[in-house]
Amino acid sequence: MTPSKQETTTGEDNGKGEYRAPAAEKVLDILEFMASQPDGLTQTEISTGLGRSIHEIYRILLLLEKRGYLVRTQSDRIRLSLKLFELAHMHPPVNRLIESALPIMRDLADNSDQSCHLVVLDELKVLIVLQVDSPLPMRYSVALGSRFPAMETSSGAVLLAGLPRSDRDAVIARIVEAGDAYGSQTEIEARLEAIADLGYEVRPSLVVDACTNISLPVHDHTGVVIAALTVPFLPQRQARFNRDTVLQTTVEAAARISAALGAPQHLLQA
């Protein structure tokens, strides 16, 4: 079969004949470009950033949005979703976040007698990407891959508190509109401000009686909060450590994970 004009051999890159797939290249260009734009961009900004006309990328943006790779915010900005993260997590090796966190979280469980989990933000919900069980026979754990409304959890509150103010306000408005606020907008804002000031949240669980959530942010190499490390503290007679001790151990563990990801030094003060 004779190649079409759009899928023809070319030696313009390395002198070797290669088949080109312009449509696929546009898709990859968009995904790779959007991966470096955590705050999202307008369609015009994407067009400008890629050096392509809006006409060239319009249908591809619609397709990527329909398939869940891109999401549109309330302010009509487009950003990358977590679908690529989820696909990567389904197939080994796991990404750097999981690899960095796993041994530290195992230490945390052993040195706190508590379970712990790692959470990322996915639109208005949180997604459990890693779970390590307590070494004790009785334990509280969360199923890997579970999703919960963000404000139902301390993990979600910590992640929202780490967002830039404009993004945080937009997400809060959407949460209130969706009816998953667990409080008024004023109460949510006060809660997130308290987390931002303190650097963590210790709060009775809204889901499990007698359980206290201890949740800390995890930062990447740019200083951005990309995950929350949470211990659902469950007091029991066999546990060797009290809540204050577990809090300090969790603070240190979150700092170690952030350090493994290359977070700036000023964010690693445990």
Predicted pLDDT at 258: 92
Pair 25, 137 in one domain: no
Pair 200, 74 in one domain: no
Predicted pLDDT at 15: 46
Burial code (b: 16+ CB inside 10 Å, e: under 16) for 76-115 equals: ebbbbbbeebeeebeeeebeebbebbeebbeebbebbbbb
Question: CATH no. for residue 39?
Answer: 1.10.10.10
CA separation, residue 36 to residues 32, 40, 55, 184 (Å): 7, 9, 22, 33
Q: Give me the amino acid identity at 16.
A: K
Predicted pLDDT at 26: 84
Contact 126, 119 (CB under 8 A): yes
Pair 122, 151 in one domain: yes
Predicted pLDDT at 88: 60
Contact 97, 261 (CB under 8 A): yes
Q: What angle do CA 162, 164, 167 make, to 5 degrees?
A: 110
Pair 250, 181 in one domain: yes
Question: CATH no. for residue 164?
Answer: 3.30.450.40
CB atoms within 10 A of CB 244: 9
Predicted pLDDT at 8: 41
Pair 64, 122 in one domain: no
pLDDT tens for each residue of the chain, 270 residues long: 444 444 443 444 444 456 678 888 888 888 888 887 877 888 888 888 888 888 888 888 888 888 888 888 777 888 888 777 666 655 443 478 888 999 999 999 989 889 999 999 887 888 888 999 988 877 788 888 888 888 888 999 999 999 888 888 888 888 888 777 787 788 888 999 999 999 999 998 888 878 889 999 999 888 889 999 999 988 887 878 888 998 999 999 999 999 988 888 888 765
Question: Which tokens go with 235?
Answer: 């007091």
CB atoms within 10 A of CB 139: 15
Question: Per the structure, how many domains does the chain have?
Answer: 2
**Alpha carbon distance 129, 121 (integer Å):** 10
Domain boundary among 63, 81, 99: 81
Residue (of 158, 134, 171, 169) closest to 230 by Cα position: 158
| Exposed/middle/buried for residue 265 (C-beta within 10 Å: 0-12, 13-18, 19+) | exposed
Predicted pLDDT at 23: 82
DSSP H helical segments within the chain, as ranges?
A: 22-34, 43-50, 54-66, 83-90, 96-110, 154-161, 165-178, 185-198, 243-260
Domain extent, residue 75, equals 14-81
